[in-house]
Each structure stands twice: as C-alpha cells, then as structure tokens.
C-alpha cells in the first residue's frame, strides 16, 4: 500500500542505514551490545542480497532487528506496476519512499539481459525529442535508489527469464552527469566484490554531453563505458534539438572525449537518433564520420526515433537507416542500427515519462 505523506515524514526521522559506512555500522552494532562480526552480515544483506527492509535480515536476532528499526530505515524503492511489450521488453514503474515515481526497463535478448535505469526523478534538460524532458526535474536519486532498480530488475530477469542481468545502461530518466556523485557511488555498490560484483565493463553511462563532467570522469579514472547522445554532427542542428549544446558545443565535447579516452581507454559510443530531413543527409554522415574517426575504440549506434506526443519529428524508415549506416561504413566507421524495443508500452529510447 502506498506510503502516506505523513508516514513518509515520520519515517524520515530515522537515519538511512544504507548511507552508513562499514565502520559506522560496526559502531552502531557495538553500541547495542553486538559483536563486530555482525557488521559483515548486515553489509551483505544491504549490498549483496539487496533486501528491502531490516526485517528481512533473517540471520539477525529479532531483538537486534527491532533495535535497528527503531533508529534506521532503508528507504527502499519498490515496484509500483509493470507493463510487458509484445517483444518481451518490460517497463517498470518504481515508487520511491517519498511517493515519487521513476521508470526502468528490462530488455531481454538472445545474448544479453539489459537493465535500463534512471538517475533522476524527471530531467532538467529539455531535449526536443524526449518525453522525460517535458517533466522537469523533481530531485536527484540517491545511490541506493539507483542500486534498488538494478536489484529489482535482476530479480525480474531471473523470475521471468531464468537468467540474471548481464548489462546495465544509465539511459533511463535524467542526466547521469548532473547527479554525478550518486551515480558513481551506485556503480561502486554494483561493481564492488562485496556488492553485486558486476564488471564495470558491462555498465554504460549515457550523457547528453557535459564537457567538464566528462573530464571529471576521466580524472576519477572510471572503468565503465561512456555513451554520448550526439544526434547531430554540427552545432546548428544539434542546438535546435538539444539546448544543452549552447554551453557544451561539439568542439568542447570532442575535446572532453579525447581527454576521457587518453586517460581511461574506455570504450566510447555515439548515440545518433535518425530524424527524417534533419540529420540524415550524406553531409551529415560525412560530418559524423569525421567526429567518430577521432577515437580508436568507438561505436556509432543509429537509433530509431520513437514518437513522443507533442514533438515535431519524424523517424527514418529502416531502409534509409540502412543506407545511412552504409555511408558510415564506407568512411570506415563501425556502426550498428539499434532497433527500438518496447515501443508499444512507451518504454523505448526517449519515451520514459510518468503518466498518471
């Protein structure tokens, strides 16, 4: 049953147990007369087993669980509802502890099982082709709320498909680099050996393009992969679709990506939605190839446009997408066409937006 606002505020008086370090948890446990070995048990429940409540920590005594619950909560994200596409994709509506909603997507394929997760409630960017951008931003998600999405989508993958997640993409609601610290902390919990233990090479963070934050990723020596939502290879066209280009033009983005590549060697990909009559010409392909050639390890993902209500764009027919891909390949660029999944339930790229 949904938490009422009053209950949420009452619960907020409790501290978030998941925001404590191992040392802080050890001090809490010793403060109520427990041995320090309990620290490892609690940590495993939080970050390996991904429980949604203190009560689920079944190898702790009832007395200890009661003592912890008096002062702490987990403020977990829960599944509110889900929809299944005709192609097997599942869109999940998650509810936060303070009664906000976000969406995530589970995308099954023959060779992989991918979770698409959100980093913000809504988005402050106003990309003209994206439904999430019409919502505005309510707040950033905490690292544990992002972690919860992965845990819940992994459970669904096992339940529905008898296999766990193989890949995670930060391509849901929000701009990950505008929630920098919490996104990186969530990836730390997902990849650490005493967490979910997933390889960072299986994680891709997608950004609309914030040059200084891309450089910060490099300075922080991240190990995950980076995807730039480019969608146009010249400033004039990109600016019309993505206002963020005013402060992060293509030249500055290429400089930042070069810095990222030189420091990390991590794979970079360009995401490029093809729009009829906007970014689909031979010259557009030449411009895109010129940018892509700057990086040795780069993939261009050509993406179908998924219609968004109120947006004045038309997607490219698949045969024309194939032709554009062929042009890139002639110029020596590794390109692939990413067919949309979950279009019939508004779960495809650019379609995530909470509808009451």
User: Which residue numbers are catalytic?
Assistant: 103, 349
- CA angle at 36 for the pair 32 and 40, rounded to the nearest 5°: 115
| Separation of alpha carbons 136 and 121, rounded Å | 8
Q: Estimate to the nearest angstrom the gap between the alpha carbon of 283 and the chain centroid.
A: 32
DSSP labels, 274-324: -BTTTS-SHHHHHHHHHHHTT-SSEEEEEE-----TT----BPPHHHHHHH
| Separation of alpha carbons 16 and 84, rounded Å | 33
Return the H-helix or E-strand segment holding 137.
strand 136-140
- For the four alpha carbons of 4, 5, 7 and 8, in that order, the dihedral sign comes to positive
Q: Is 61 exposed, middle or buried, given 0-12, 13-18 or 19+ CB atoms closer than 10 A? A: exposed
């Amino acid at each position: 049953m949904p938490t009422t606002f009053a209950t949420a505020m009452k619960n907020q008086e409790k501290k978030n147990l998941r925001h404590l370090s191992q040392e802080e948890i050890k001090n809490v446990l010793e403060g109520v007369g427990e041995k320090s070995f309990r620290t490892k048990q609690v940590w495993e429940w939080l970050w390996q087993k991904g429980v949604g409540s203190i009560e689920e920590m079944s190898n702790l005594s009832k007395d200890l669980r009661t003592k912890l619950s008096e002062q702490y909560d987990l403020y977990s994200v829960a599944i509110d509802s889900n929809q299944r596409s005709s192609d097997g994709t599942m869109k999940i509506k998650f509810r936060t502890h303070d009664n906000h909603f976000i969406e995530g997507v589970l995308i099954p394929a023959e060779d992989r099982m991918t979770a698409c997760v959100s980093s913000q409630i809504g988005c402050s960017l106003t990309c003209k082709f994206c439904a999430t951008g019409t919502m505005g931003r309510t707040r950033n998600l905490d690292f544990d709320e992002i972690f919860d999405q992965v845990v819940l989508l992994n459970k669904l993958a096992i339940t529905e498909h008898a296999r766990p997640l193989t890949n995670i993409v930060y391509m849901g609601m929000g701009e990950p680099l505008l929630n920098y610290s919490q996104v990186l902390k969530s990836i730390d919990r997902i990849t650490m050996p005493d967490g979910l233990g997933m390889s960072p090479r299986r994680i891709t963070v997608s950004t609309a393009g914030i040059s200084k934050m891309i450089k910060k990723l490099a300075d922080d020596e991240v190990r995950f992969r980076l995807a730039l939502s480019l969608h146009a290879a010249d400033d004039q066209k990109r600016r019309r679709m993505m206002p963020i280009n005013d402060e992060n033009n293509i030249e500055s983005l290429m400089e930042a990506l070069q810095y990222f590549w030189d420091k990390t060697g991590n794979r970079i990909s360009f995401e490029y939605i093809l729009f009829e009559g906007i970014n689909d010409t031979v010259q557009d392909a030449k411009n895109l190839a010129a940018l892509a050639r700057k990086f040795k390890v780069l993939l261009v993902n050509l993406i179908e446009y998924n219609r968004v209500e109120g947006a004045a764009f038309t997607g490219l027919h698949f045969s024309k997408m194939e032709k554009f891909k062929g042009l890139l390949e002639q110029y020596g660029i590794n390109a692939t066409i990413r067919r949309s999944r979950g279009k019939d339930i508004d779960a495809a790229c650019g379609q995530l937006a909470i509808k009451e």
